Amino acid sequence: MDKKIIAVVNPAAAGGKAVKIWPKKNEYFKQEFSNFEEIYTREPGEAVKFAQKAVEENYDYIMSVGGDGTVNEIINGILSAEKKELRTKLIIYPLGTGSDLSRTLNLPTNIEDFIDLVKQEKSRSVRVVEADFFNYQQQKTKRYFLNIADCGMGAEVAKKLNESKKTIDGSLSYLIKIFQTLFNYQNKEVKVEADNKLLYQGKIRSVIIAQGNYFGGGIKIAPEAGLFSDKLNLVLLKDFSKLGIILNLIKAYKGKHLSHSLVESHQVEKIKISSQERVELELDGESVGICDSSFKISEKEIEILI
């Protein structure tokens, strides 16, 4: 395989463990691919610039080495490149705390199997989700994502996790932050509109906007979502008590929570969320700002190796 590949490596992924793990893995890639390069990010947002430049320099593939946040930055970099014809494809090598998008894509974790996947060069186009929201500087912002967005408690959990040192791996790290957040979090008063109709107004624990199925390090929060669907899966976790969330969380790991009376799942095209309270927003595990916010499937596409 003679394709030009650049790996964008987030050394801070997996609580800083990626910087130790990746050098052992990249030897396999260097042996198998003659035009393989790598570049390390040094600060948040840098992967956006690296991906943008790689597209403009006609790389065939950008490989995300990190978690879902790294993927998110690369997607936004690819789509911001000034290129009339987008030829650069995305490879996702999961090396993050959650790496939930890789679960939906069912990507191999064994390095030999992963290299075989790259060699097969099978890819598929997926339309990204466009999110409009207010960032922390109260500026109206547009950003794209692939997996899941959360308004509410899930976003608070993500923020606490992003601010921590993430010394514990994967699902356990998320689970600890869920319980730390749970006991102080108060449900928010929100208004949820979908396809220009009022869907819900009242207290809510979380509003989830999904194309992928998993978040939080393996919680199957949106079992009815489809990454290649033309609809968004809107999941409402309504006015749950603290005990109710704990009991339902057990079911959510297997995607069995939708039968609960305080859970709703809808297939919609456009979503608008508003609140008079401060409601945190996360996209693909990245803390980006606050609601009010709106979401829709964009016409823009990313080609992903599957």
Verify that 116 and 166 share a domain, yes or no: no
Q: What is the number of structural domains in the chain?
A: 2
pLDDT (0 to 100) of residue 168:
56
* 145 & 282 share domain: yes
Task: Please identify, among 121, 153, 169, the residue that sits at the C-terminal boundary of a domain.
Answer: 121
> Looking at the domain assignment, is residue 233 inside a domain?
yes
Q: What pLDDT is recorded for position 170? A: 59
Contact 235/210 with Cβ under 8 angstroms?
yes
Res 96: pLDDT: 79
Q: Determine the structural domain holding residue 180 and report its residue range.
A: 128-298
Establish if 306 belongs to a structural domain. no
And the tokens for 4?
Answer: 């030009």
DSSP string over the chain? ----EEEEE-TTGGGGTHHHHHHHHHHHHHHH-TTEEEEE--STTHHHHHHHHHHHTT-SEEEEEE-HHHHHHHHHHHHHS--SS---EEEEEE-SS--HHHHHHT---SHHHHHHHHHHT-EEEEEEEEEEEE-TTS-EEEEEESSEEEEEHHHHHHHHHHHS---S-HHHHHHHHHHHHHTT--PEEEEEEETTEEEEEEEESEEEEESSS-BTTTB---TT--TT-SSEEEEEE-S--HHHHHHHHHHHTTT--TTSTTEEEEEESEEEEE-SS-EEEEETTEEEEEEEEEEEEEEEEEEEE-
For residue 265, the Cα-to-chain-centroid distance in whole angstroms is: 19
Shared domain for 30 and 176, answered yes or no, is no
Q: What is the CATH number of the domain that holds 47?
A: 3.40.50.10330
pLDDT in tens, 244-271: 999 998 999 999 999 999 999 999 999 9
Q: What is the pLDDT of residue 165?
A: 64
- Is 303 part of a structural domain of the chain? no
What's the whole-number mean pLDDT along residues 87-111? Answer: 90
pLDDT at 83 (0 to 100): 74
Per-residue pLDDT tens digits for 41-58: 999 899 999 999 999 999
Is residue 91 located within the same domain as residue 163? no
- Which of 90, 121, 152 is a domain's end point? 121
What was the pLDDT predicted at 99? 86
Say if residue 173 is in the same domain as residue 62.
no
pLDDT of residue 182: 87
65 found inside a domain: yes
Q: Which two tokens stand for residue 299?
A: 């016409």
* Terminal Cα distance for the chain, rounded: 17
| Model pTM above 0.75 | yes
Tell me what pLDDT residue 86 has.
82
177/284 Cα distance (integer angstroms): 16
Assigned domain for 304 exists: no
Average pLDDT, the chain: 92
CATH code of residue 165: 2.60.200.40
Looking at 121, 142, 164, which one is the last position of a domain? 121
Q: Name which residue leads in pLDDT, 183 or 203.
A: 203
Residues 23 and 71 in one domain: yes
The span from the CA of 251 to the CA of 122, in Å, is 34
Question: What pLDDT is recorded for position 303?
Answer: 95
